[in-house]
Amino acid sequence: MIAQGILGATRRRAAAAPAASFGGMPALFSAGQKGAYYDFTNRTKLAVNADGSGGSPGIGATARWAVDQSPNGNHLRNTVGTVSVVDNGIVTSGSNYGLFNMGGFGDWPRVDPPFELIATLQQEGYGGIDARLLDLGGVSLLQGSRSGKIRAFASGYGSEVAPGLAADFTVHLIFNGPASSIAINGAPPSTDNLAAQPCTQVVVGSDVGGNNAVPVRVKRLFIRSGALNQVDRAGVMTWVSA
């Protein structure tokens, strides 16, 4: 009887244990993780000039600066006005870069695999083979060989998935060598045998002066070193797609 009472109390305590909860976006960087996150729908986190000055741009104006809301200060910039502000994000022109952080222009820290990227965006058009939507240096999110389909690239091409054109979708990329994967809108991921490549820069749009680029609207973007647990991953997915 005593043993049964102890067992029953243990079970009651286990059942009463609170479930893990999402601690918010800043908490994801509390242990010094590399990366950044950006909210392009919040115009107070954008600026008219590439040094963060000039105030917040209005709808239809040009943004040349976007604030990294993590503690890492990996802000995005561009001295050329090719990114327009809309009421639900920013739209790149598909030419002359987008917003970026790379060597010599903010000095993005090298982020070695594994790392995760989660973003909500919309393809504004179709540009043919391998148009860049997000470029991370050694790895990219490409618009693939058929209209509206996208795929990851890391020293090879991953599986194509089809979010379509002119509609919001949330993409989740895990870069981790042979276990790299891509998924959209919470669907089961497609896992590919892609070589492990570090994230050495972040470019919203093309990083090659407009070659192989198409206009893309981006709402929110998250990149971080290390693997997220299920609770934190679900929290980020909710945040980027809100």
For the chain, the domains span: 23-241
The model's pLDDT over 15-66, given as tens digits with 9 standing for 90+, comes to 555 678 999 999 999 999 999 999 999 999 999 999 999 999 999 999 999 9
Question: What fold is seen in the domain 23-241?
Answer: Jelly Rolls (2.60.120)
Terminal CA-CA length for the chain? 53
What percentage of the chain reaches a pLDDT higher than 70?
Answer: 86
Rounded CA separation 118/195 (Å): 20
Rounded CA separation 157/204 (Å): 19
Instruction: Specify the 3-state DSSP secondary structure of 234.
Output: helix
Least confident interval from 16-20, 215-219, 230-234: 16-20
The model's pLDDT over 119-136, given as tens digits with 9 standing for 90+, comes to 999 988 876 667 888 999
Average pLDDT over residues 182-198: 92
Instruction: Decide the pairing of beta strands 89-92 and 190-192.
Output: unpaired
Report the pLDDT value the prediction gives residue 81, as an integer from 0 to 100: 83
Q: In Å, how far from its chain's centre is CA 202?
A: 9
Average pLDDT over residues 102-118: 93
